Amino acid sequence: MDGHTVAYSRSVITELMVPSYANFGGKVHGGTLMSLMDKLAYVCASKHAGNYCVTVSVDNVQFLRPVEVGEVVSLMGSVNYVGKKSLVVGIKGVAENLQDGVSKHTNTCYFTMVAKGTDGDTAEVPPLILESEDDVRRFCSALQRRRIREEGLAFMNEYKGKFQLDEGSRALLATERCILGMPQA
């Protein structure tokens, strides 16, 4: 199976932020931006895979700066990693105020997508051809995020399975903004 370069499936979605996208605080809804990012992840992943792709997970979603109504948001996506049947698409969002020409980095996230064949089963994806040090760094970073996610899930599953409301738990909560409204055992 021949591979594709990162540039092959790199894509951009640009959209004007209109009043119907605003929340009660007058800023663009995070969900509106997430929807646009999901569409972009689909475009990048499907182009690379040559198949329909579905979202499996979204990691490291960061809303760095608020997006204002009237700004133009450009979301830039690229395939950063491929496994046998999955791909990771990195997305960066930039909002531009057209009146003053000021741009700001507003969002970053990583979508894990899985390719589906015409039969609905998962499908193998082409290898990713890494042509620059940035390509290699992004690929290796995706591997590290996966390792950290897997270790974190294992830790939390073990923690939840062994959890007891004991002195250790009470000590953990002692400096937090919560009130235990239950009798001590």
137 domain-assigned: yes
166 domain-assigned: yes
Measure the CA dihedral 72/80/129/52, to 10°: -80
135 domain-assigned: yes
138 domain-assigned: yes
Q: How far is CA 7 from CA 49, 58, 78, 131, 138, in A?
A: 14, 22, 7, 9, 13
Residue 8: CATH number of its domain: 3.10.129.10
pLDDT recorded at residue 185: 62
d(CA 33, CA 56): 18
pLDDT by residue (tens digit) across 123-166?
999 999 999 999 999 999 999 999 999 999 999 999 999 999 99
pTM greater than 0.85: yes
Q: Count Cβ atoms within 10 A of the Cβ of residue 39 and give its class: 0-12 exposed, 13-18 middle, 19 or more buried.
A: middle
- The string of DSSP letters for 14-68 reads EEE--GGGB-TTSBB-HHHHHHHHHHHHHHHHHHHHTSEEEEEEEEEEEE-S--B
184 domain-assigned: no
78 domain-assigned: yes
pLDDT by residue (tens digit) across 58-117?
999 999 999 999 999 999 999 999 999 999 999 999 999 999 999 999 999 999 999 999
Domain count, the chain: 1
Q: Which domain holds residue 122?
A: 4-172
